[in-house]
Amino acid sequence: MTADELRGLIRTVPDFPAEGIQFRDITTLIADGRGLRAAVEGLAGLARAAGAEAIVGMEARGFIFGAAVAVELGLGFVPVRKPGKLPVETIGIDYALEYGSDRLEMDPAAVSPGQRVVVVDDLIATGGTACAAARLLRKAGAVVEDAVFVIDLPELGGASALRECGVATHALVDFDGH
């Protein structure tokens, strides 16, 4: 499936969640079996090329793609969660959002020191969450040099922000605007 065909399976919802935003909705992509398979295979190829030893996904849509990529590659999956969701002692990191802040947590035993992990998510916008996840994973001892996404919104600067965090980004498709 071509990038244009994948892009065609992603619905754009105007003025959501606020006026002027063009929301890129992946539910139409994941509802299409061929499209979902193509996206997972594409992401898996990027993660394989990056030397992934484990796959990381951030809550919630990163779980959809990350777990599927891990299965495709025969690797383990590491969930990075919202606060209070894991039943074990966690490590966490607070990070800034456009309006306010948030927190990510993980089980520090989910990665081994020096293990090369690749972050997988549905979309990169500003890069704040992915950069926070990379910092958290590094705190746990993982090597994080690559992140792969279904969608990049280049105008929002997320790829540049991740490069500043020492993470190369790769995406299957991009969209103008935000």
Which residues are known to be catalytic?
Answer: 61, 98
**How do strand 11-14 and strand 22-25 relate by DSSP bridges?**
antiparallel
Sequence-ordered list of residues with C-beta below 8 angstroms from that of 97, at least 6 positions apart, any chain:
128
Closest CA to 107 of 75, 77, 127: 77
Are 133 and 161 in contact by the 8 Å Cβ rule? The answer is no
Instruction: Report the b/e string of 138-154 with b at 16+ CB within 10 A.
Output: bebebbbebbbbbbbbb
Tokens found for residue 144: 């994080």
